[in-house]
Amino acid sequence: MRPPASVLLIVPVAVLVGCSTPDPEASAPTPTQTITASPQSSPTLSPTSDPVVAPTCEELADPELVTSLAESGYVPTASPFEIGDVTLDPGVQCTWVIPDSGTDAHVLQAWGVITDAQAQVAIDALVGEGWVTEPGEEGTYVTFPGGGVQSDAEGYYTTYLFGDGWVTLSDVKAGLAEIVRPVS
């Protein structure tokens, strides 16, 4: 059973305002300067940015999910994130299981940086194996049409989400929402 999780992210925004007052005795008007900072979206990489590194399994999963899994006895194992013959770097695949439980119950999450060319090759290979594509707001979903250990409430099994420069994977489509994507 997949423990539910949700996150409420509160991002404080600082607004800096500075101004100068003109000297009332000055004969010419003195220019004033106002500096404001506006809320910014998530930072993106530029050529001078530090390279993105793959997160740990605990960093990849929603914090509430990590707590719930740990309390239920699940332990993560990290491995390289591979789609067919392509190993994503940076990338990580995390499989959470209860050791020595003898069950197939698990939680699967993965994230990686991917080029457009790699994404197209991966999508084509998955579709060639019978996977189904579906457009979404954040990108293209590629989902296994049936069978597997578990499905979500909508009946989805293992699902990839290919976005702009990144890809995620979960054992069920709804689980994609529990992945905390690093900036890529």
Residue with tokens 């940015």: 49
Q: Partners of 112 in the beta sheet?
A: 91, 167
Beta-carbon count within 10 A of 108 CB: 17
Structure tokens at 126: 């998955």
Q: What are phi and psi of 85, to 5 degrees?
A: -90, 0
Q: Which residue has the higher pLDDT, 27 or 177?
A: 177
- pLDDT, one tens digit per residue, over 70-127 is 999 999 999 999 998 889 999 999 999 999 888 778 899 999 999 999 999 999 999 9
Please state whether the predicted TM-score (pTM) of the whole model is above 0.75. no
Q: What is the pLDDT of the chain when averaged over all its residues?
A: 77
Distance CA 121, CA 118 (A): 5
Are 78 and 93 in contact by the 8 Å Cβ rule? The answer is yes
In this prediction, residue 64 carries a pLDDT of: 94
